[in-house]
Amino acid sequence: MSQTQNPQVNPPPERFNAAAHLLALNAGRFDKLAYIDDTQRLTYGELAERVRRCAAGLLALGLRREERVLMVMHDSADFPVAFLGALYAGIVPVPVNTLLTADDYAFMLQHCGARALLVSRALWPNLQTAVAGTSIPAIVSGEGTAPEGTRAFASLLDAPALAAPADTLADDFGFWLYSSGSTGRPKGTVHTHANLYWTAALYGTPVLGLRESDVGFSAAKLFFAYGLGNALTFPMSVGATTVLMAERPTPAAVFKRWTEQGVTVFFGAPTGYAGMLASPELPARSKVKLRLCSSAGEALPSEIGERFTAHYGCEIVDGLGSTEMLHIFLSNRPGDVQYGSTGKVVPGYHLRLVNEEGADAAPGEIGDLYVSGPSSAAMYWAQRDKTRATFQGEWTKTGDKYSTDARGCYVYAGRSDDMLKVSGVYVSPFEVEATLMQHPAVLECAVIGIVDADGLTKTKACVVRKSGQRVSEEELKAFVKERLAAYKYPRFIEFIDELPKTATGKIQRFRLRDAERARADGPAAS
């Protein structure tokens, strides 16, 4: 099964600088508010001036074309200034997760060959350990005097604005993003200048319909592919205003931005929406201005989408994207949301479902999802084998399994390494999870496979109950049996306090599997 749509979107010119392009789009919005963060407001005119000064400041440090600068920065107005400033100068920004260990940062600094470090003040103690023994200059963002041995980010902006952007090509390496949520070392995913153009041209504007009057807010941080589009590329492509927040996107923190900043478009993840709906502080519909919400990271359970829409009269547009494709390429549409599915291919991309025999999957048959489109990454840096396994000619292997329904919509069936084969039949963990989520006592859950004494795979559900709610293992099993084929119900259920997740809220099922194996191996190991 394959889907293809080809809109008439002009490609960027051969000589193309992504930062210069975004600044040029907003040249007539000098006084329009671009960013609101925890401490400041930045107009498009001020943003353009700071970007050009930052570009000059980075070059004054001695950085040259295509050299990398590692960005470990909280979401504030300094982030887009730094990211775009590097692009404008032809330097390659590498924004990374702010929740990692010093060892992770030491690896990334060495792996990407960073020639400078941009870091938020609150994160500097952790990074100080990572750069110990190196000569990498550290530039610290935030108020106050720069820590000893560093320089203040504001000092970069003292340089006269760079008169013209670097004369980069559309296919020149523009920036890197490191993958998250998998086992082993993260992969440095290399993107071009043109890729930022394509995600806005194919998804942000034509599918989501973002407009200049919007006030956007993304729970996903800027260092993630999803957040980078939500809070930088998409709003800047139409001149919208973006709210940035350094702290974690707890329900209370999100509600505060919704109500105080008049957010009209919100970008979140399924676990975040579930937490908000369960919060006693959930604002009334009359207190917010939401007109559209987006979800990605994991497939959105229909029950969550339906409850959210019933409360706010606002759709959640669920989509699938990846670090490798930079943003969403499979999505529902505003006004045509089919909860329980991930919608249809985004125009400009091509999708293919491949079954176990290597042929196109038939409608209703589960297959591996492949995508082709102009925003695909060029490679994983210095990881040839993984590059060849993922980027196969024009196709990128997503690692997701899907089927298509009678409407031609794609229905999520789990990650390739999360799928379970029980009694010779594929069982989708997500299908079982989505059914469990319909029970009023269940806040969230994850389904994994465990091996019984006979060496056979059985399903196990790890369930987080809502506060104050009680439900037994047998009640939940019966609940699933009533709604799914008998072989799909979880044979084992464990009630836990919380699920292991990545910083974006993706459930890390491999950690649940590892814990299960450790329990099974415990007596033998001792």
Q: Dump the DSSP string for 93-104.
A: EEE--TT--HHH
pLDDT band at 101 (very low <50, low <70, confident <90, very high): confident
Question: 359 to each of 393, 405, 526, how far by Cα in Å?
Answer: 17, 18, 47
pLDDT average, residue stretch 3-28? 89
Residue 454, pLDDT above cutoff 70: no
Residue 517, pLDDT above cutoff 70: yes
Residue 183: its pLDDT value, please?
A: 42
Residue 62, pLDDT above cutoff 60: yes
Beta bridge partners of 459: 449
Residue 182: its pLDDT value, please?
A: 40
Distance of CA 461 to the CA centre of its chain: 25
Give yes or no for a contact between 239 and 44, defined as CB atoms under 8 angstroms apart: yes
Both structure tokens of 316: 């959640």
Residues with Cβ within 8 Å of 138's Cβ and at least 6 positions away in sequence, in order, are: 116, 117, 119, 124, 127, 128, 131, 149, 150, 151
Q: 294, 507, 320: which is closest to 412 by C-alpha?
A: 320
Q: How do strand 379-380 and strand 188-192 relate by DSSP bridges?
A: antiparallel
Residue 155: its pLDDT value, please?
A: 95
Tens-place pLDDT, residues 19-45: 999 999 999 999 999 999 999 999 999
Entry pTM:
0.88
Dist CA 426 CA 24 (whole Å): 51
pLDDT average, residue stretch 237-251? 97
Half-sphere exposure of 502 (CA within 13 A, CB side): 20
Dist CA 504 CA 488 (whole Å): 28
Tens-place pLDDT, residues 298-339: 888 899 999 999 999 999 999 999 999 999 999 999 999 999
Dist CA 372 CA 370 (whole Å): 7
Q: What is the amino acid identity at position 31? A: D
pLDDT band at 501 (very low <50, low <70, confident <90, very high): confident
Chain mean pLDDT for the chain = 93
Residue 185 has φ and ψ, to the nearest 5°, of: -70, 145
Helix (H) / strand (E) containing 55 = helix 44-60
Question: 249 to each of 124, 236, 268, how far by Cα in Å?
Answer: 21, 22, 9
